[in-house]
C-alpha cells in the first residue's frame, strides 16, 4: 500500500464547510487504497486572531508563550478534520506536533526540526486510521512547545514524509501549482508540470510564496517527491522532484519576485579582518538573516561599503541590532526601504552565456535601473525600485518566452 503525506493550508480549512470538503477529498483518496497522513495549518485567520489577543495584553509577547498560544490554532483544525473524517466513516486520529514526534531545537518562533519520531502516527496507520497532524509545531527536549516559523506546516509535512518513507508529499494550497511567474502579475504565466528541487528552492527563496524553502530543502535532502496542487480545483499540480524535464532550448524556468525588500548600506567599514563579521554576528544574534550581501571592492583606501537586504518588516529590528557595532566601527548607515527583487531561475542559467546580459538589457530597455545584482548557480537576481517590479516581471516573462512550453 502506498503512503502519502498531504498538507492543507489555512485557506483550505478556513471554516467547517471547507474542513468537510477536505475530509471528503481525504476519504476519496483513501478509498483508492493510499495510506494517508494529513498535516493541517490553522483555520483561516486563527493565527492572526491569536496574535491580536496577545497584543491586547502585552506590547512585547514572550516567544515561548507566543509559541504555545499559536500552537492551539493547528490543534483546533486537526481535531476538527479528524472528527469530520469519522463522520464520513473513515477512522482518523489527530496528533499534536509533540504527539507526532516532531522534535525541535529551542529557537521559539522559528524552531528547527532536530528529529522526527512518529511512533504514534505509524501505529495509527498500522491500525487502519488516517493520522491528522497539527502542522507548524514541535516540542523541545524540555517539553516546551515550539513553532517552526513561516511555512512551518510545509516543513512538518515533508519531515513526516521523510521519517515515514512516504511515496510522496502533497502540498494543497490556494494556488494550482508553480508558475513561470506570479499569474496575478502576468496572466500569460504558465503552470509548470515539473520542477527540480534546486529550481524550486531558488524560486521559493526569491519570493515565490508557493512553498517555504526549508520544506523544499528537506524534500531534496531526503528525495521526497513533492506535489503542489490546489485543494479546491481538481487540476494537475506541479511535481517537485530530483530532475525536471528541461526544455532544451530555454533554460529559464521561471521568474520570481519579492516586493518586500529593504536595503541597508553601512558606509565606511574599516577594511580590516573581523569588521564585517561583527555586523553580521550582531544581525544573527537578533535572529535576522541578511538576504543579499554585497561588499564593494575597496579601491579608495582603508574603508569599504557593505550593502545587504532584509525584508521590509525587519528593517528597524535590523538597524537596532547592528547599531552598537556600527557605532564601534564609526560607520554611517544609509537605508532604502522601497525596493523589490526579480530573479530568473533555471538550471544552467548562470553558466550559459547570454542569459545575464539579456536580463540586464531587458530591464534597461524597460527603463528600470538595477540597484544590486546577485547570482547563484541557477539564478540571477536584480534588486530594483519597487514601483517598477511588476513591469520587470512582465518584461522578463515575455523576453524569455515563458508563456509557451
Q: Which residues contact 354 (CB under 8 A, 6 or more apart)?
A: none
CB 252 within 8 Å of CB 347: no
Q: Report d(CA 156, CA 103) in Å as an integer.
A: 11
> Nearest distance from residue 230's CB to its own copies, in Å?
22
144 vs 247, which CB is nearer to its own copies? 144
Helix boundaries (H) for 129-239: 152-163, 197-205, 213-222
Helix boundaries (H) for 115-273: 119-126, 152-163, 197-205, 213-222
52 vs 330, which CB is nearer to its own copies? 52
CB 109 within 8 Å of CB 73: no
CB 387 within 8 Å of CB 338: yes
> Nearest distance from residue 24's CB to its own copies, in Å?
11
> Nearest distance from residue 213's CB to its own copies, in Å?
29
109 vs 183, which CB is nearer to its own copies? 109
CB 21 within 8 Å of CB 80: no
Positions in the binding site for its own copies (CB under 8 A): 16, 19-20, 23, 50, 53-54, 56-62, 64-66, 68-69, 71-72, 75-76, 79-84, 86-87, 93-94, 96, 98-99, 120, 143-145
119 vs 245, which CB is nearer to its own copies? 119
C-alpha cell of 250?
530555454
148 vs 204, which CB is nearer to its own copies? 148
> Nearest distance from residue 148's CB to its own copies, in Å?
18
Q: From 179, 141, 62, 157, select the one nearest 109 (Cα to Cα).
A: 62
> Nearest distance from residue 331's CB to its own copies, in Å?
35
Work out the burial of residue 1: count CB atoms within 10 Å of its CB; fewer than 13 is exposed, 13-18 middle, 19 or more buried. exposed
Q: Report d(CA 3, CA 30) in Å as an integer.
A: 10
81 vs 283, which CB is nearer to its own copies? 81
84 vs 399, which CB is nearer to its own copies? 84
> Nearest distance from residue 50's CB to its own copies, in Å?
7
DSSP 8-state assignment for residue 71: H
> Nearest distance from residue 201's CB to its own copies, in Å?
34
Helix (H) or strand (E) holding 374: strand 372-376
Amino acid at each position: 500500500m502506498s503512503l502519502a503525506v498531504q498538507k492543507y493550508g489555512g485557506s483550505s480549512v478556513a471554516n467547517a464547510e471547507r474542513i468537510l470538503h477536505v475530509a471528503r477529498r481525504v476519504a476519496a483518496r483513501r478509498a483508492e487504497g493510499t495510506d494517508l497522513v494529513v498535516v493541517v495549518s490553522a483555520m483561516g485567520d486563527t493565527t492572526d486572531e491569536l496574535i491580536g489577543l496577545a497584543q491586547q495584553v502585552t506590547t512585547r509577547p514572550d516567544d515561548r508563550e507566543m509559541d504555545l498560544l499559536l500552537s492551539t490554532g493547528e490543534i483546533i483544525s486537526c481535531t476538527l478534520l479528524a472528527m469530520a473524517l469519522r463522520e464520513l466513516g473513515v477512522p482518523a486520529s489527530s496528533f499534536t506536533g509533540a504527539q507526532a514526534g516532531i522534535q525541535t531545537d529551542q529557537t521559539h518562533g522559528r524552531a528547527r526540526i532536530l528529529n522526527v519520531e512518529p511512533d504514534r502516527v505509524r501505529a495509527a496507520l498500522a491500525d487502519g486510521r488516517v493520522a491528522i497532524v497539527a502542522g507548524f509545531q514541535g516540542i523541545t527536549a524540555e517539553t516546551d512547545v515550539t513553532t517552526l516559523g513561516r511555512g512551518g506546516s510545509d516543513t512538518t509535512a515533508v519531515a513526516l514524509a521523510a521519517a515515514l518513507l512516504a511515496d510522496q508529499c502533497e502540498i494543497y494550497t490556494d494556488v494550482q501549482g508553480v508558475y513561470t511567474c506570479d499569474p496575478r502579475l502576468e496572466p500569460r504565466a504558465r503552470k509548470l508540470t515539473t520542477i527540480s528541487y534546486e529550481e524550486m528552492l531558488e524560486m521559493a527563496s526569491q519570493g515565490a510564496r508557493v512553498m517555504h524553502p526549508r520544506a523544499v530543502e528537506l524534500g531534496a535532502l531526503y528525495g521526497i517527491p513533492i506535489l503542489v496542487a490546489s485543494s479546491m480545483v481538481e487540476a494537475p499540480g506541479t511535481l517537485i522532484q530530483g530532475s525536471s524535464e528541461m526544455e532544451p532550448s530555454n533554460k529559464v524556468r521561471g521568474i520570481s519576485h519579492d516586493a518586500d525588500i529593504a536595503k541597508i548600506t553601512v558606509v565606511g567599514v574599516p577594511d580590516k579582518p573581523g569588521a564585517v563579521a561583527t555586523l553580521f554576528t550582531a544581525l544573527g544574534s537578533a535572529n535576522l538573516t541578511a538576504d543579499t550581501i554585497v561588499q564593494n571592492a575597496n579601491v579608495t583606501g582603508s574603508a569599504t561599503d557593505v550593502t545587504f537586504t532584509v525584508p521590509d518588516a525587519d528593517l528597524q529590528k535590523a538597524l537596532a541590532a547592528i547599531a552598537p557595532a556600527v557605532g564601534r566601527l564609526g560607520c554611517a548607515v544609509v537605508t532604502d526601504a522601497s525596493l523589490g527583487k526579480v530573479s530568473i531561475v533555471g538550471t544552467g542559467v548562470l553558466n550559459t552565456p547570454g542569459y545575464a546580459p539579456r536580463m540586464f538589457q531587458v530591464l534597461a530597455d524597460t527603463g528600470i535601473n538595477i540597484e544590486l545584482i546577485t547570482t547563484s548557480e541557477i539564478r540571477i537576481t536584480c534588486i530594483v525600485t519597487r514601483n517598477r517590479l511588476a513591469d520587470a516581471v512582465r518584461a522578463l516573462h515575455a523576453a524569455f518566452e515563458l508563456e509557451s512550453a
